Structure 1
């Protein structure tokens, strides 16, 4: 028979393994989002600045989508309670 206490320990380890990439993806998304927010065009004619604003939005969306997918994976693997904790 399996030990019920061991299952909780395994989930704790898996929770940590999933938390590291989730944290890194969130930090990457925040970094690129900040880069897009602090870029200011000089005027309506400054198309390079508008391109510099759009460019970091793509990795922001990609990292946020990956973090969301990882969050859904964690919910499926660890159960619904883990996904609502933080």
Structure 2
């Protein structure tokens, strides 16, 4: 876990920014010794958001499966796609 003070962020933004880009990890910013903010590169944030969205989709699919909604195996889907694109 990377931790920097708000003073470090104010006085040396460039090094904090470089650290975030180099490591890809979030940097916890403290204010008066207490946690205040989390800073991360936009690339790391986008990747994190993508993983969270994927996880949410998997959980939603699992919930539907548990509620006995119709589901398909990979073989089922492969066969449906073959039929759909057979005439293309």
| Common fold: TM-score over 0.5 | no
| TM-score normalised according to structure 2 size | 0.36
> Rg: which structure is higher?
2
| TM-score normalised according to structure 1 size | 0.37
Q: Which has the higher helix share?
A: 1
